[in-house]
Structure 1
Amino acid sequence: MARQPAKTLWYDRPRYVYLEFCVEDSTDVKVVIEDQRLVFSCKNADGVEFYNEINLYARVNSKDSREKRSDRSITCFMRKWKEKVAWPRITKENIKPAWLSVDFDNWRDWEGDEEVERAMVEQYAEMLERVTDKGPPPAMDDLDDD
């Protein structure tokens, strides 16, 4: 029986790139994460062999990258060598294999997050400036202890 590529989803974060190989009830899972390449292989419950090899868009820290197997998939999280640099794609080549898709459920446009946060801080500071000083609190020495 010939091996085939597993359906794969990916998404980008400031520190990590995530890949999810969608194979239910996987066995014989092998994941090799190198600095610029990932090799994945396994079998499903029916004995079908899956194999994916991806030359990565940019370098990752292979020593700080991991994979996690569940009943439905195998997820790899690879630590980017250059953090906070967005990856426009997962593959080094500017091609999109039929088995590879963006995971839109987990995708977030995080590049503008810092600018949005900075704008919110500036807006809060302006609001604080507009609050007028109401003077010192009233003296409470005329209250009885009773």
Structure 2
Amino acid sequence: MSTDAVVPPPAIWAQRNDVIYLTLNVECPDPTFKFTPDTMYFKGIGLPEKKNHEVTINFYNKINPDKVISKNTSRCIEFVIAKADTKGPYWPKLTVDKNKPHWLKVDFNRWKDEGSDDETNEGDNAMSLEDMLRQANDSKLSFDDLDDDQEDSDDEAMPGLTEDKDENEDKK
């Protein structure tokens, strides 16, 4: 185990009206985390450097600690955290801290603006993190639709190269 100082894990977050998506970008096989209505506590040893990671997040508003879904992948730990007030407005930030923590960034891949058309259409059809991960594991990549007979533009001979070679041989 490393004797380095304890540091917060790099994290990204996004939100919807009813949930917060939080991803801790650390490979941690045996993490400890605990949720209260106001906070999240995380502690773990990150691989491969064996860095000590620890953080307490004081949420901007209340959450429902009983409705937290977590998924520890090989590269990160993902959380879907239910907001206590599911009908309330978007939070202006994740934490109550006056300054933005240096280790926390916005997850633009999951971000939706409050009141966007995509969010209002989700309703009951919105997938949970578990459903999304299950679907991703069930679908396999397929290259069957690629046509080998079709010629790509990069397969064509480059103009002028063969002529230049012949001209150079003639000059010798």
Provide Cα deviations, 1:66-121, integer angstroms capped at 9, x if missing partner: 2210011001111011114211100012320110111111111142439x87xxxx
For the residues of structure 2 that align with 1:13 and 1:51, how far apart are their CA atoms?
Answer: 26
Gaps of 5+ in 2: 122-172
CA RMSD of aligned residues (A): 2.0
- Contact 1:31–1:67 (Cα < 8 Å) also in 2: no
TM-score, with structure 1 as normaliser? 0.72
Residue 12 of structure 2, aligned match among 9, 12, 17: 9
- Asked if the contact 1:19/1:76 (under 8 Å) is kept, the reply is yes
Greater share of residues in strand: 1
Work out which structure has the larger RCO, using CA pairs closer than 8 Å and 6 or more positions apart in sequence.
1
Query: In proportion to residue count, which structure has more helix?
Result: 2
Aligned partner of residue 99 in structure 2, secondary structure = coil
Query: Out of 16, 34, 41, which is 1:32 matched to?
Result: 34
Moved over 3 A (4+): none
Structure 1 residue runs without a partner (length 5+): 118-146
Where does 1:38-117 land on structure 2 (aligned, <5 Å)? 38-45=40-47, 46-84=49-87, 85-113=89-117
Pairs aligned (count): 116
Worse overlay, 42-51 or 67-76: 42-51
